[in-house]
Amino acid sequence: MVGVYKVLAAFRDPRWLASFEACGEKTVVVGVATHGDLRDVVAAAEAAGLPVRVVCDAGRTEVEPGAMTVVGIVGPVQAVDQVTGHLRTL
């Protein structure tokens, strides 16, 4: 969440951060089947103009170093749902 906050703090419209804070920093966790699916979600969010924070693994466990493992996408519910609405919640 710290990474998402930093992305919002630097985002082009400061009202997005204020809205995120005012709404209680809502977080919804969804899953994808493959790294390719995760890359597709990132691309779709970026194409929609949404703030995106990609987290890559440090490789200290069984995950390959540098592997994309988490993505934070922030925005109005309708806009985020356009990108992630087809994914299953975890």
Instruction: Kindly give the confidence (pLDDT) of every residue in the chain, 90 residues in length, as a single tens digit, with 9 standing for 90 and above.
Output: 788 888 888 887 888 888 888 888 888 899 999 999 999 999 999 999 999 999 999 999 998 999 999 999 988 889 999 999 999 999
Query: Is residue 87 within 8 Å of residue 29, measured between CB atoms?
Result: no
pLDDT at 37: 96
Q: Look at the pTM and tell me if it is higher than 0.85.
A: no
The DSSP bridge partners found for residue 27 are: none
State the Cα–Cα distance between residues 23 and 68, nearest whole angstrom. Answer: 27
Residues constituting the chain:
90
State the Cα–Cα distance between residues 74 and 53, nearest whole angstrom. Answer: 9
**Residue 24 φ/ψ region, left for φ over 0, alpha for ψ in the -120 to 50 degree band, beta for the rest:** left
